[in-house]
Structure 1
Amino acid sequence: MVERHHQWMTQFGRSYKDVADKAHRFKIFKDNTDFIDTFNAAGNRSYTLAINDFANLTNEEFVLTRTGLKMGSRRNSSAFMHADVTEVPSSMDWRTVGAVTGVKDQGKCGCCWAFAAVAATESIKQLTTGNLVSLSEQELLDCDTSVNQGCNGGNRDLAYHCNPERPAPRAGKISGYEDVPANDEEALLKAVSKQPVSVSIDGSGSQFQFYKSGVFTGECATMTNHAVTIVGYGENSDGIKYWLVKNSWGTDWGEAGFGMIQRESGNVEGICSIAKRPSYPLA
């Protein structure tokens, strides 16, 4: 276990301030590694876990630094634009048509909402103009101070893509947004068949923290605290239907930053409450 910890430190460029700090983090690393090994050894789930960038964080520390979504009010979804869609493809991956930018990393900032919103905006811009442009999450952080309060309270030290003090040409715009009817995976499927959709989920569980591959089926709570973007859907070889999501925890999480969350699980809100609060931008 000591050797695995040293290999992990080398891989992720970690160091500790003193012997006591290293011993403390090693214990957390060992507990997390034991949890991952035990889960994978059971071999009774449709997904696997792996040691990743978060392996020396307790789940409580992980939740504090990587989640933190604060919810605003929902619009009436009676004007749902995709309601009349009657046929959808059996599978969809918006990456294959060049409508999804690369995976980004929110860092130690509870601003997943900005990344989920920007990802969907980048995609609708590409689908309407043919140009895929990486847009600025930092701009949203600087502007949205009422509901989400910037970086979980206004940390401006994390500049992702721009200097907020320097005006830049407008790279993209939307005319508004629509909410998908809540707790309706059929409606959500119609929307995703036409464009990527931003959703809120529960991202706080240890299994989700260390998710690596396969179709994630739980464990999840019903309270949402994280945001991702659904960029497709499909069905695996075992017949498990899934949503394809783009996360903002870097490329070491999941399959290069993407993951599959079970679809049509029988839970009205969806796995991890993924159908609870979907929305998408309007061109």
Structure 2
Amino acid sequence: MFISKKALLAITLLTTASTSTYAQLYLEDDEAHPTVGVSAERLFGEWADKHSKTYTSAQEKQKRMGIWLQTDTKIKAHNQKYDAGHVKWYMGHNEYSDMTPEEFANHFNLFSSIDQEPIEQLGLPVSDNFVEQIKRFQTGRGLRSSNNLKDAVDWNAQGMVTGAKNQGGCGSCWAFAATAGMESVKAINDGQLVSLSEQELIDCSGAEDGNNGCDGGWPKNAITKYVKKKRGGICSDQDYPYIQGETGSCLADSCDVVPGTLFGGCRYVYSPRDPTQRSAQRVMDALVTSPVIVAVSAAPYSDWLSYAGGIFDNADCGLEIETPVDHAMLLTGYGEDADGNMFWEFKNSWGADWGEGGYIKFDRDPTLTNHDGRCGMLRYIMQPFF
């Protein structure tokens, strides 16, 4: 169910009307709207209070309520399809529900947050020491070797992934994906899970590394070129905290690196240049040893904006070759739900209020080869190592 053209015109014209008048006219114009019988102003107000929303003027509040109501309509229409079994994922309100899809993309700078630098040093080998550490961890946790794939892998459940974080209004997904990968690999290596500093990467791993702060970057560059070669480690998030939306001067000298963060680098699991190497099985194999960093397409933005749970199988989100990517996340595992639907599970960086506690699932076909996968997720698979 969509808002009528007349209602949309009312949203545009009623910039000087009171909020209550706006809500009343909106509902009178579109009687089929799901919130009929309930004050739209009240519903919007409850949502705004929950998310501590404040607006600079009555006009801005009216505009945001109009967008929120459009989002509300889209959510309810989509969830009817979910209830009928036509799709595997459902939508819900979150802190971004008063943004248009374009504003949502701009908020996270998705148009430039991934910078596909020339690919160098493909498939760097993992050190023998790290392989031995992985084997000891697998033995202690009852995990199988990568030559005998598990039916499911969940590094979050193993306590090897830090909590949900929020990059806010900054195109820094590359930094959050890089720290998430390093945090998990370090925890697997030495048993100590420490939240690492995204702000250090944003401030200190700059253009010379192929990164550009809040205007985008590449996770592998941050780990290999900065953490390994320049810094010899990275500070904790506690000692070098995140300042949402800012690229500042490098303050790395003000804190000590976290012990155990001198990484050997970050490798591609297979060559991104060769589509024939793309393989769901190879990604599953890598996931048995640790979470991996992936680059994806976060379009269509309107669907990502309101994702709340289930297995994302949107046909419009790239199942093609050379899918353009604009976002980075941490792939933490794979599994199968109670209905036998196979999935990948990712930790995102849009806060715990988004998705399933900050996570999203994609549909998984373990036989997929020579293909980009859902939303291009099989194009770039990066794995930090010691």
TM-score by length of 1: 0.92
Match of 1:220 among 317, 335, 351: 317
Amino acid at match of 2:264: S
Cα distance between partner residues in 2 of 1:184 and 1:78: 15
Cα distance between partner residues in 2 of 1:141 and 1:232: 27
Match of 2:140 in 1: none
Matched, 1:196 2:297: no
Matched, 1:74 2:74: no
Match of 1:173 in 2: 262
Structure 1 residue 204: Cα displacement:
3.0
TM-score by length of 2: 0.68
Amino acid at match of 2:115: K
Match of 2:105 in 1: 63
Does the residue aligned with 1:200 lie in a helix, a strand or coil? strand
Match of 1:251 in 2: 352
Residues 49-60 of structure 1: matches in 2 within 5 Å?
49-60=91-102
Residues 137-152 of structure 1: matches in 2 within 5 Å?
137-146=198-207, 147-152=210-215
Amino acid at match of 1:210: S
CA contact 2:330–2:347 (8 Å) conserved in 1? yes
Larger Rg: 2
Match of 1:31 in 2: 70
Q: Deviations over 1:88-124 (max 9, x none)?
A: 1110111222211111100111100110111010011
Structure 1 residue 74: Cα displacement:
2.5
Match of 1:209 in 2: 305
Q: Does 62-71 or 130-139 show the bigger shift?
A: 62-71
For structure 2, list consecutive stretches of 5 or more residues without a partner in the other structure. Answer: 1-39, 132-144, 218-241, 273-277
Cα distance between partner residues in 1 of 2:304 and 2:243: 27
Does the residue aligned with 2:383 lie in a helix, a strand or coil? strand
Structure 1 residue 223: Cα displacement:
1.6
Change (3 A) 1:220 1:134: same
Matched, 1:119 2:119: no
Larger RCO, structure (CA 8 Å, separation 6 or more): 1
Name the count of aligned residue pairs.
280
Change (3 A) 1:79 1:114: closer
Match of 1:9 among 19, 28, 48: 48
CA contact 1:75–1:178 (8 Å) conserved in 2? no
What value does the CA root-mean-square deviation take over the aligned residues? 2.4
Structure 1 residue 208: Cα displacement:
1.6
Change (3 A) 1:226 1:159: closer
Amino acid at match of 2:311: V
Structure 1 residue 2: Cα displacement:
2.1
Change (3 A) 1:78 1:124: closer
Amino acid at match of 1:126: A
Amino acid at match of 1:281: P
